[in-house]
Every structure is written in structure tokens, then in C-alpha cells.
Structure 1
Amino acid sequence: MEMQHALAQEWATLQNHHEAQERNALGLKLLALLLVAGSWMTGLEPLLAAALVLVLWLQEAILKTWQHRLAERLLVIERLFTRGPQGAEAPFQLHTQWLAQRPGLGGLLAEYGRSALRPTVAFPYAVLCLLVLLV
């Protein structure tokens, strides 16, 4: 029963962090919108404004990649609860699992790229970049 309690605590902690990452991503989107509105009001160079939006887009991609890692561990814990207390997995293995599966630099950059291209991440950044450059 002690293992179940530890897994439950880990799940609750990771779930809270997973949800916090979602709020942070929404904050980055809002910041990008404010940046574009501010760039129009101040006459900021369009290429600079687009570059800043791209930086925020990349930040969200990195954030979403981290969120995905949390989700992977959450799924492992959930599977353990379906197997019952005799499961072989130990709690609190998030970083151990990450280190065991950590890709090299190229793999990490590819992972960030895949996150950046997800529609829920790409919006509104791609649209904002186009607006800044075309308007």
C-alpha cells in the first residue's frame, strides 16, 4: 500500500505541473499577441517583431516538449495503478526515465521542431508572423 500512496503523490504532483505548463503556454500566446499589437502601435521593425514572435514560439515548443515528458510518466503511473500494487515500477522515476531515453542534440532539436509544428503550438505564432510581415 505504501507504493500505491507514493505513486498517487507522484501522479498528483506531475498532473499539477502538467496543467501549469498548459497555463504557461497560454501566457506565451497572450504575450505574443500583445507583442504584435505593441509592435504595430510603436512602429517596431516588422522583422524584429517577427523574430520576437519566433522566439516565443520556440519557447512554447520547448515547454510543450517538457509537458509531453510529464505526460509520458503520468501514463506509466496510470498503467501501474491498473496492474495493482505488485507492479515492478518504482515511483519518482521521471528524471531517470528521461535520462535513459534522452536523445542526442539532433534528436532533441527534432523533438522541439515536432512540438513547434503541432497546430496547438503553432497557432497563433505562424499567423502573427505572417501578419507582422505582411501588414
Structure 2
Amino acid sequence: MTARTQSEWLCLQQSYDKMDMQALWLKLLCLVVWFWLLHNGDSLRIQFTAIALFWLHEALLRTVQQRTAERLLQLEQALIQNQDIGMQWHSTWQQQRGGVTTLAMSYLRQALKPTVAITYIVLIVLSVIRVSVMFN
């Protein structure tokens, strides 16, 4: 077992766990903002914009988390094989980064994952229902 690989794994695992907590706080903050917007009677456009911004932010966070998970798996494989690949995350990622389209698609994939999307879809639906009830 190499010390650099093990050290990087420990650091990234802690970071991965913190990203889960950050995503939960982000969802909670989105709910608070959404309720505040409802309470103030803000327009549907403002509600949708707020929801979209939170959704985008979580997609970005989850994309970084996915990259972290991929690196953790690489480190685990290296530990099994007693290889030293520690402290090379950025250079490895830079080599396999891809272009703008690849990056944009990775953000979109994360945004459409059910665990990410469900909160924002529900808020959008509830906003639409509330507006339709108000006008009927």
C-alpha cells in the first residue's frame, strides 16, 4: 500500500461525503427560497429562475462529486494492485477531460439524475399548480 495513494483516497473520500451534505443543504436552501418567493407572491418566472439556478448549481456540484468517485475507484484499484498513482488527479483528469460538449453533457447527465432532479421538478409542478389555482 502506497502512502500517497492512501492519503489521496482518504482526502477525496472526505470531500465526497462533504459534497453529499452540501447538496442536501442546497436543496434545503432552495426550499426556503421557494417558500419565501411563494409567500411574497413573486411571479412564476422568478420562481422558475430561482429553481433553475439551484438545479444548475447542484448539477455542477454532483458533476465534481462524480469525478471524485471515479478517482476514488482508480485509487482503490491502485491500492489493490499496490501501485502508486497518488497525487496525480488533475493531470489524469486533464488527459481525459474532453471538449466543451463532453463537459456540458456531464453536467446535463447529473442534472437529470432522479436524485438531483426530483426536488426541482416537484417545486416547478407545485409552482404551476399554485398559479393555476390562483387564477381559477
TM-score in same-fold range (> 0.5): yes
Corresponding position of 1:5: 3
Give 3-state SS (helix, strand or coil) of 2:86's partner: coil
Is 2:86 aligned against 1:94? no
Q: How far is 1:118 from its partner? A: 0.2
Confirm or deny: 8 A CA contact 1:54 1:129 kept in the other structure: no
Matches within 5 A, 1:99-110: 99-110=94-105
Confirm or deny: 8 A CA contact 1:50 1:133 kept in the other structure: no
CA–CA distance in structure 1, aligned partners of residues 88 and 46 of structure 2: 42
Is 2:106 aligned against 1:111? yes
TM-score, length-normalised on structure 2? 0.90
Give 3-state SS (helix, strand or coil) of 1:91's partner: coil
CA–CA distance in structure 2, aligned partners of residues 112 and 132 of structure 1: 25
Matches within 5 A, 1:15-94: 15-84=13-82, 87=83, 89-94=84-89
Q: CA RMSD in A?
A: 1.2
Confirm or deny: 8 A CA contact 2:110 2:116 kept in the other structure: yes
Unpaired segments ≥5 residues, structure 2: 131-136
> Moved runs in structure 1, 4+ residues, more than 6 A?
none
Unpaired segments ≥5 residues, structure 1: none
Number of equivalences: 130
TM-score, length-normalised on structure 1? 0.91
